[in-house]
Structure 1
Amino acid sequence: MPSYKLIYFETRGQAEPARLLFAAGGLQYDDVRLTREQWKELKPKTPMGQLPILEVDGTAICQSKAIARLIAKEVGMAGKTPLEQARADMIADTVDELAAPCQTFYTLADRNKAEVLKKEFVEKTLPRAVALFEKFASAEGYFVGNSLTWADVTFFAFMDWVITAIPGDHLKGCENLKKVMDNVSSNQGIAKYLKERPETPY
């Protein structure tokens, strides 16, 4: 079995889908969480100058989506057919697009402008996106087929962060999406991980 080392910051962020997938599949890995100071020292030595990085038997893989997709394939959660895999990719890509503005309003130096962007996201962008996702999720709580895929896990990771960072009933009336969240959080490996994972601000 390959040796895995996942390198990221002391946050959930873009590495959380990978951590959840590792947990769901019961794969052992080294969860390396860097401080900002440690990252400054390591950054010049990395392939793309960014995190997360997954080392597989010493070979570095960059980009969070590539990492999550690789793990999903390893644990049988990428989709059972090429069409299912494409659908899972579609959902994961859309989640990624939805998450992009969040990085802006949490890192912007101008806090007043950041609050305006955050308000627009919560009141306009997020409700539209949630309504769209609700249509793609089945009544059983899966985006693809009849079992968990990395699409469900990716959506869960993002919404779990949103609910923590921006309290509110963001899934009000979205019974299919609530079932997706329940299906992911009740997975045995993920439930154990969620109970034991380090407390982080985001």
Structure 2
Amino acid sequence: MVAYKLYYFDLRGGGETIRLIFHYANIPFEDCRISLEDWPKIKPTTPTGKVPYLEVDGKSLPESGAILRYLGKKFGLVSSDEWENAQMEYIFEYFKDFLMEIKSYFQVTFHQIEGDKDQIYKDVYLPAAEKAYKKVGEVFSKSTSGFLANTGITWADLLLAESTLTLKGMDSEFEKRWPFMIEHQKRVHSIPQLQKYLESRKPSPV
């Protein structure tokens, strides 16, 4: 049996979608959670100085995007249609840029920087979110499955649902503005294979 070890912080963040893939596929893995206190001494031992990274039989694969694509394909969380898979790649890259664009809103929300949260919400977060969810809505409008791809759930759905969970916790207007995203998040998080893990994971704002 292949031995998988996932290294990430003890929060959801960039590692949670990877965890969800393993639980969805019912594949055993070692969930190596790094405390923020231990990170400075562990950082130099990682492949790129960042997490998450995945060990597969002792071989290291860094970068969340590479890990998601690898595991998604390996465990069947991809579309049977090449164009739809390209759309999933597009959603991943677009949302990565979107989350970087609203970084200051994350930082002021979690007191990493000082600033006017309401002003940053209005000037930075809201315009970026409106643009991002318009693009995602266009992808949903072409699917009849309730997921991003017509063929059913993909790794990109797991990623998007986790992003929705995070942002609705930071934005009291989220559900009113983008109800279709809440519906999607609930649909993904209602998948039977995920229930045991989702019910047991500890709360984390990110």
TM-score, length of structure 2 as denominator length = 0.86
Q: Which residue of 2 aligns with 1:165?
A: 170
Does 2:188 correspond to 1:184?
Answer: yes
Does 2:148 correspond to 1:143?
Answer: yes
What one-letter code is carried by the residue in structure 2 that aligns with 1:76?
A: G
Does 2:197 correspond to 1:193?
Answer: yes
Give the paired residue count: 201
Q: Which residue of 2 aligns with 1:24?
A: 24
Contact 2:51 2:62 in 1 (8 A): yes
Comparing 110-119 with 41-50, which one deviates more in the overlay? 110-119
Secondary structure of the residue aligned to 2:66 is helix
Q: Which residue of 2 aligns with 1:69?
A: 69
User: Structure 2: how far apart are the matches of 1:171 and 1:63?
Assistant: 34
User: Structure 1: how far apart are the matches of 2:118 and 2:183?
Assistant: 31
User: Structure 1: how far apart are the matches of 2:71 and 2:197?
Assistant: 16
User: Structure 2: how far apart are the matches of 1:141 and 1:85?
Assistant: 16
Does 2:116 correspond to 1:123?
Answer: no
Give percent identity, aligned residues only. Answer: 25
Q: How far off its partner does 1:51 sit?
A: 0.7
What is the aligned-residue RMSD (CA, Å)? 2.2
Does 2:111 correspond to 1:111?
Answer: no
Secondary structure of the residue aligned to 2:131 is helix
1:41-95 alpha-carbon deviations (Å, 9 max, x no partner):
1111111001111111111111111111111112101221332221211112112
Secondary structure of the residue aligned to 1:36 is coil
1:86-132 alpha-carbon deviations (Å, 9 max, x no partner):
12111121121222234444347541166643443442211221122
User: Structure 2: how far apart are the matches of 1:121 and 1:21?
Assistant: 32
What one-letter code is carried by the residue in structure 1 that aligns with 2:69?
A: R
Higher relative contact order (CA 8 A, sep 6+): 1
TM-score, length of structure 1 as denominator length = 0.88
Contact 1:105 1:115 in 2 (8 A): no
User: Structure 2: how far apart are the matches of 1:128 and 1:10?
Assistant: 31
Cα distance 1:180–1:69, how it changes in 2: closer, same or farther (>3 A)? Answer: same
Cα distance 1:170–1:130, how it changes in 2: closer, same or farther (>3 A)? Answer: farther
What one-letter code is carried by the residue in structure 2 that aligns with 1:130?
A: Y
What one-letter code is carried by the residue in structure 2 that aligns with 1:185?
A: H
Comparing 96-105 with 71-80, which one deviates more in the overlay? 96-105
Q: Which residue of 1 aligns with 2:54?
A: 54
Q: Which residue of 2 aligns with 1:84?
A: 84
Q: How far off its partner does 1:199 sit?
A: 2.1
Contact 2:105 2:125 in 1 (8 A): no
**Structure 2 unaligned spans of 5+:** none
Secondary structure of the residue aligned to 1:37 is coil
